[in-house]
Amino acid sequence: MRWNLPPSELPTTWFNVLPHLAGQLEPPLHPATRQPVGPDDLAPLFPMALIAQEVSTEPSIEIPGEVLDVLRLWRPTPLIRATRLENALGTPARIYYKDESVSPAGSHKPNTAVPQAYYNKAEGVKRLSTETGAGQWGSALCLASTFFGLECKVYMVRASFQQKPYRRVLMETWGGNVVPSPVDKPDHPGSLGAAISDAVRDAAGRADTHYSLGSVLNHVLLHQTVIGQEAKTQLALAGEDHPDVVIGCCGGGSNLGGISLPFVPDKGVRLLAVEPTSCPTLTGGRFEYDFGDTAGLTPLLPMYTLGHDFVPPSIHAGGLRYHGDAPVISALVRSGRMEAVAYPQSKTFEAAVMWARTQGTVPAPETGHAIKAVIDEALAAKEEGKEKVILFNYSGHGLLDLSAYDDFLHDRLPD
């Protein structure tokens, strides 16, 4: 069963969670002075429109028409009930998912890549630099850059660059220029933190270039809220009053924020973040100010972190290998509004394969983390004999991650 919305039902505003977090979010600090950063500090890297969104306290922010025109190529995305998985689990829970894998890049990432490219173009920028882990964010930004006539340079975490050559080909097909990171350490597997340093250095060194981040920052989570807003409308069409729990995997927190932030004000809705045990930021990190990148070039953010020099093992869910979390997600977890759980990668691949054998589609390894938590919630509902409405974000497909499935299916996958 699926609930599709017509293009006219695409949200025309983003949901801003910041007014709901009053007093809970500390400002980013300048890396040199440790004083709160101002717009001028950020201007070499980001367009003013995004800097304004980063601190806006308006309850909603209008989505520009040119952005809507591009998003309408695949949005609204379907809400689908996973009845075959429910049946296989024998659960009384009703499991719904937002299928963000239907975007051209195969994930939720274009929801923010498109507005970021738009605002940069509007302010006269010619070229964007960015990092990518699994390659999903890099593909999304190359796609968006090609729509708005921008050049795009992508620093790809070396472990993924080697594991996932087809992601590179996809980025190049959309006109991007991709290099492995760290650029100065050819034997290093890399990390998102190091790739961010490479991309920030690139943008800071060229007047025609801005930097673009695929997760973590307030404006990125803001752009993703089309997901949760659509889901609310679609759940109502499915006859559901509200979900009992909303689940998303968490790397930097953007797909999780996208589906869950519109539910923050709603009573009786649990929010659940899912992360890898090998990079357990929310479940094992410290809440403190830390750099967003390895080299310490970015502002310090108030977040759960494993330390900016933490290099996570080369797990296949490359998009979850980040040492920190979005300040918004960190604040929600810290206040107890959001829960967090961690799983080893073998359990997440078991869940992903169960999904493929019941629902048919092959999830991204990151999405497999959310699916594992969904299965556990559904089994808990069975144990308790409770009907429960579970909503989760199917953040991406895994059709370019088949080498990871190959390793799992042939016992080559370490935890």
Q: Which residues, 6+ apart, have CB-to-CB distance to 192 below 8 Å?
A: 131, 133, 157, 251, 252, 321, 322, 323
Q: Do 414 and 276 contact (CB within 8 A), yes or no? A: no
Could you give the maximum distance between any two Cα atoms of the chain, in Å?
Answer: 61
| Contact mark string toward ligand PLP, 92..111, x via CB under 6 A | ---------------x----
Structure token pair of residue 356: 């493929």
| CB nearer ligand PLP, residue 91 or residue 395 | 395
- Subset of residues 296 to 335 that bind ligand PLP, contact rule: CB under 6 A: 319-320
- Subset of residues 385 to 404 that bind ligand PLP, contact rule: CB under 6 A: 395-396
> Contact with ligand PLP (CB under 6 A): which of 137, 147, 291, 304?
137
DSSP 392: E
Q: Please calculate the CA angle 327-52-257 and round it to the nearest 5 degrees.
A: 35
Q: Please calculate the CA angle 341-191-221 and round it to the nearest 5 degrees.
A: 55
136 sits near ligand PLP (criterion: CB under 6 A): yes
Residues 65-101: b if buried by 16+ CB within 10 A, e if exposed: eebbebbeebbbbbbbbbeebbebbebebbbbbbbbb
Closest contact distance (angstroms) between CB of 25 and ligand PLP is 18
| CB nearer ligand PLP, residue 342 or residue 381 | 342
Closest contact distance (angstroms) between CB of 252 and ligand PLP is 4
Pairing of strands 245-249, 389-394: parallel
Q: Residue 359's Cα: distance from chain center in Å?
A: 23
- Subset of residues 147 to 186 that bind ligand PLP, contact rule: CB under 6 A: none
Number of residues that bind ligand PLP (CB under 6 A): 21
| Contact mark string toward ligand PLP, 356..375, x via CB under 6 A | --------x-xx--------
| CB nearer ligand PLP, residue 381 or residue 405 | 405
212 sits near ligand PLP (criterion: CB under 6 A): no
- Where does this chain bind ligand PLP (CB under 6 A)? 107, 133-134, 136-137, 215, 249-256, 319-320, 364, 366-367, 395-396
